[in-house]
C-alpha cells in the first residue's frame, strides 16, 4: 500500500464526513458525522474487501426483510446479540447507582394487560408453581404504596402469549400493584430458559460464529410510581445454565434471584391458595426519583 | 456519569466482543470483533439515546424493506451516500498507481448486452450525439488488441434501460472491443447528470441533511483483457455542475474528460456516419497486469 493510496482513502472519508456539514439539526449532524467516521475507520482497519462488503449488504437486506409489522423485529434482535441494546440501555440509565439496575426491554411486551390482585395467579395454564414477593421502595428506603408492576414471561414452552397464539389472552402477563406497605406478590410458574428466534439472519450469524441462542430464565418487569423514574428490568433465575452466557447480554449480578423449593404445607401455600409444592423467590425494587 | 457507569459500559462491550471469540473462521471472527468494537465505541462516544437507537432500527428496517429482487438495492445506495462504497473500492484497488483509477460499480449494470462494432451507435433513441475514442494499453504502454469495454449510461431522461422499461432492449449499453492498435470508438449521446432514487429512506436521509441527490454525468466502463485485471470505472463530464459534489463520491480527477463541440462537416462525422453536430471526447485506459 502506497502513501498515495492511504491519502486517497483518507480523502474519501473526509469528503463523506464533510457532506453532512450542513445538516440543519445539530444533534443529527453530530451523530451522522461520527457514524461515518467510525464506519470508515472500521472498513479501513480491517481492509474490508468488496466481496465481504457485498455479503454485509445481503445480510442487512435479509434482516430488514425478516421484520414484520406484528411480532418480529430482526434488527432489534441483531442489536441485542451484538450487545448494542444493552450498551444503549446502560448509557440511557447512568447516574442511578442507588436504584435497581435496568436491562433490555425486549420485543415481547404488550400494553393493556389485565390488572391483577395481590398474589393473583397469572399462569392461566398450570405448571411448575412459583411465588415471587418483595417490596418497592424509593432511594431513601421508604416503601412506595400503589406502584405498578407490569409483568411478562414465557410459558413453559419458551414462548410468550401473543407470540404463541395458542395461549389464552393475558397468560403470564399482568399489572400488579403494591399494597400500603409497598409490597407485591405474584403467583406464576417458574420461568424457563428459551432460545431467541433462529430462523432468520441473526440465527445464521449465531450459527456461523459458534454462539448459542439461549436466554437464561427471567421474569420481565416494568415499574411505575408517581414522582419516580420508570424502571424496565428482568429478574433472572440464579441457577440457570445460561446465566453467564445470555445471548443478548442482559444479565446483571444484582438482578439474580434464587427460587427456593417449598412444600405444599408451607404457610405461604395456604395464604396464596397454591395447593402444591412451589418455588419461592424474593426481590426488592428501588425506584429513582424523577429528576 | 460515575466511574461504575463507565466500568459497566466497558464490561458490556468486552462481553459482546468476547462472545465471538470461538468463531471457527478466523477472518469472520476478526471482522465481527472489530465491528462490535467500533459500533460500541460510536454509541459510547455519542452517548446514543434509546429514542435515537430506535429511530436507527426503524431506518434500517425500512431500508431493507425498500429493496426488491430486480433493480432496487437501498442498502447499496445507503453505502454509496455514506462514502463506504468508494472506500471499499479504494481498499480493493490499492497498489495500482500506473493503471487507470477505478470507481464504484453501481447497481445498474446488466450482463449479456449486445456486442457492438467499432464506432457503432449504442443510442437507439436519437439525442445529443457524442463520440468517445481512445486507446487501451498495459502499464508498459503497449496497446491491447481485443480488449472488451462493457459500457452503460443513462438516457437523456436520467434513467438506464432496464430501470426504465420504456427504452428499447440494450439502449445505451453494449460490449465494444479494441482494434489491432488497441483503439476503441463509441457513438452515443452526451451523458447527463441524474438524481439517485429519492423515494426511499436514503432520499429521506439526504433531505434531512440538506444534501442533493445528483450524480454528475458519466459513462460506465468495465474493461477486460486476457492477463490483465478487470477495471470498473466511470468517465465523467468535466463541465458538469455536480462534478465537485457527486452524491456518491465517485469522481476522481483522473477520470474527468471534456466533450468538445464539433460540426457536422468534421471528418470524424463522416467517418462515423454521424450526420449532425456532435461532441467529441478522448480517454485512454491503462490496465494492470494480473498479479
Q: Which ipTM score applies to this complex?
A: 0.91
Q: Do A63 and B67 touch (CB under 8 A)?
A: no
Confidence (pLDDT) at A1: 53
**Mean pLDDT on B4-23:** 91
- Do residues B167 and B159 touch, judged by C-beta distance below 8 A? yes
Rounded to the nearest angstrom, the minimum Cα separation between A271 and chain B is 41
User: Are the Cβ atoms of B35 and A41 closer than 8 angstroms?
Assistant: no
pLDDT at B260 > cutoff 70: yes
Question: Residue B2 above 80 pLDDT?
Answer: no
Chain B residue with Cα closest to A253: B8
Dihedral angle of Cα B187, B193, B197, B199, to the nearest 10 degrees: -140
Residues A285 and A133 sit within 8 Å (Cβ to Cβ)? no
Instruction: Compare CB distances from B83 to A38, A40, A62 and report the shortest one's residue.
Output: A40
Region A97-102 average pLDDT? 89
Name the minimum distance, in Å, from the CA of B105 to any CA of chain A.
11
Residue B137 has pLDDT above 60, yes or no: yes
pLDDT number for residue B149: 98
Chain B nearest-CA residue for A105: B50
pLDDT at residue A199, as a whole number: 96
Q: Do A2 and B34 touch (CB under 8 A)?
A: no
Residues of A in contact with B83 (CB under 8 A): 12-13, 15-16, 19, 36, 40
All residues of chain A having their beta carbon less than 8 Å from the beta carbon of residue B31 are: 46, 48, 52
Across the interface, whether the CB atoms of A49 and B88 are under 8 A apart is answered: yes
Residue B159 in grid coordinates: 434513467
The model's pTM is 0.91
Q: pLDDT tens digit string along B178-200?
A: 999 999 999 999 999 999 999 99
What's residue A43's pLDDT?
A: 98
| pLDDT classification of A2: cutoffs 50, 70, 90 | low
**A36 to chain B: which residues are within 8 Å by CB?**
82-83
B163 pLDDT band, cuts 50/70/90, is confident
Q: pLDDT, tens digit, for every residue of A71-85?
A: 789 999 999 999 999
**CA distance to partner chain A, nearest, from residue B240 (Å):** 19
Confidence of residue A5 (pLDDT cuts 50, 70, 90): confident
The partner residue sitting opposite B57, judged by closest CB among A25, A52, A79, is A79
Helix (H), strand (E), coil (C) string for B81-98: HCCHHHHHHHHHCCCCCC
Contact A46 B30 (CB under 8 A): yes
Taking residues B217-228, what's their average pLDDT?
97
Per residue in A261-284, pLDDT (tens digit) is: 999 999 999 999 999 999 999 999
Upper half-sphere CA count for residue A228 (Cβ side, 13 Å): 27
Residue B72 pLDDT level (bands cut at 50, 70, 90):
confident
Confidence (pLDDT) at B93:
86
Is the pLDDT at B158 greater than 90, yes or no? yes
**How many helices (H) and strands (E) in chain B?**
7, 12
Shortest CA gap B248–chain A (Å): 9
Task: Spell out which residues of chain A touch residue B23, defining contact as CB-CB under 8 Å.
Answer: 208-210
CA-atom Rg of chain A in angstroms: 23
Cα angle A64, A65, A69 (rounded to 5 degrees) comes to 85
Residue A8 is predicted with a pLDDT of 86
Q: What is the DSSP string of B245-285?
A: --TT----GGGEE--EEE-TTSHHHHHTT--S-EEEEE--E
Q: Tell which of B46, B202, B232, B288 to mutate to test the A interface (max A CBs under 10 Å).
A: B46
The answer to whether residue A4 scores a pLDDT higher than 80 is no
Are A91 and B208 inside 8 Å of each other by CB?
no
Does the pLDDT at position B71 exceed 90? no
Residue B64 vs residues A81, B72, B236: alpha-carbon distances, Å? 19, 10, 30
Integer Cα distance of B123 and B191 in angstroms:
11
Mean pLDDT of chain A: 95
**Out of A1, A22, A209, closest to residue B23 by CB:** A209
Residues A149-205 have pLDDT tens digits of 999 999 999 999 988 999 999 999 999 999 999 999 999 999 999 999 999 999 999
pLDDT value at residue B200: 97
Q: How confident is the model at residue A222 (pLDDT cuts 50, 70, 90)?
A: very high
Q: Is residue B227 pLDDT above 60, yes or no?
A: yes
3-state secondary structure of A46: helix
CA gap B66, B62 in Å, rounded:
6
Q: Give the per-residue pLDDT at A72.
A: 85
In chain A, which residue's Cα lies nearest the Cα of B41? A38
Least confident of A168-172, A231-235, B91-95: B91-95
Mutate one of B24, B61, B215 to test the A interface: name it (highest A CB count within 10 A).
Answer: B61
Could you give the CA distance from residue A81 to residue A203 in angstroms, rounded to a whole number?
A: 10
Record: contact B23-A65, CB cut-off 8 A: no
For a pLDDT cut of 90, what percent of chain A falls above it?
89
| pLDDT score of B170 | 96
State yes or no: pLDDT of B244 exceeds 70: yes
Examine the pLDDT at A93 and tell me if it is beyond 90.
no
| Rounded average pLDDT over A56-69 | 94
Candidates B53, B101, B250, B288: best to mutate against A (most CBs of A within 10 A) is B53
To test the contact with chain B by mutation, choose from A88, A109, A216, A254 the residue with the greatest count of B C-beta atoms within 10 A, namely A88
Supply the pLDDT for residue A7.
76
Contact B49 A25 (CB under 8 A): no
Q: Which of A1, A63, A84 sits opposite B43 (nearest CB)?
A: A84
Average of per-residue pLDDT across A36-52: 97
Quick one: average pLDDT of A119-143?
97
Partner residue facing A5 (CB), from B15, B52, B95: B95
Does B91 sit within 8 Å of A19, measured CB to CB?
no
- CB within 8 Å: B83 and A28: no
Cα nearest neighbour of A57 on chain B? B75
The residue among A1, A26, A64, A254 with the most chain B CBs within 10 A of its CB, best to mutate, is A64
Q: Which phi and psi (to 5°) does residue A143 adopt?
A: -65, 145
Q: From the options 3.40.50.2300, 2.60.130.10, 3.40.50.300, 2.60.40.180, give the CATH code of A86-287.
A: 2.60.130.10
Amino acid at each position: 500500500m502506497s502513501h498515495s493510496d492511504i491519502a486517497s482513502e483518507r480523502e474519501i472519508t473526509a469528503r463523506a464526513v464533510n457532506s453532512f456539514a450542513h445538516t440543519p439539526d445539530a444533534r443529527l449532524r453530530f451523530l451522522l458525522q461520527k457514524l461515518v467516521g467510525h464506519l470508515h475507520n472500521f472498513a479501513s482497519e480491517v481492509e474490508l474487501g468488496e466481496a465481504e462488503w457485498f455479503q454485509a449488504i445481503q445480510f442487512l437486506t435479509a434482516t430488514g426483510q425478516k421484520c414484520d409489522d406484528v411480532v418480529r423485529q430482526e434488527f432489534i434482535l441483531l442489536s441485542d446479540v451484538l450487545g448494542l441494546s444493552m450498551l444503549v440501555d446502560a448509557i440511557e440509565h447512568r447516574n442511578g447507582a442507588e436504584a435497581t439496575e435496568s436491562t433490555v426491554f425486549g420485543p415481547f411486551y404488550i400494553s393493556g394487560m389485565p390488572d391483577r390482585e395481590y398474589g393473583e395467579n397469572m399462569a392461566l395454564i398450570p405448571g411448575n408453581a412459583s411465588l415471587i414477593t418483595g417490596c418497592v421502595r424509593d432511594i431513601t428506603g421508604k416503601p412506595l404504596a400503589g406502584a405498578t408492576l407490569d409483568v411478562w414471561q414465557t410459558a413453559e414452552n419458551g414462548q410468550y402469549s401473543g407470540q404463541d397464539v395458542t395461549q389464552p389472552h393475558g397468560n403470564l402477563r399482568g399489572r400488579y400493584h403494591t399494597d400500603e406497605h409497598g409490597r407485591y406478590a405474584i403467583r406464576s410458574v417458574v420461568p424457563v430458559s428459551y432460545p431467541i428466534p433462529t430462523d432468520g439472519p441473526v440465527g445464521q450469524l449465531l450459527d456461523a460464529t459458534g454462539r448459542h441462542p439461549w436466554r437464561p430464565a427471567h421474569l420481565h418487569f416494568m415499574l411505575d410510581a408517581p414522582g419516580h423514574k420508570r424502571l424496565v428490568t428482568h429478574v433472572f433465575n440464579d441457577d440457570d445454565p445460561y446465566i453467564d452466557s445470555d445471548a443478548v447480554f442482559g444479565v446483571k449480578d444484582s438482578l439474580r434471584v434464587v427460587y427456593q423449593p417449598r412444600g405444599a404445607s408451607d404457610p405461604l401455600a395456604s395464604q396464596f391458595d397454591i395447593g402444591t409444592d412451589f418455588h419461592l423467590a424474593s426481590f426488592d425494587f428501588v425506584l429513582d426519583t424523577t429528576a
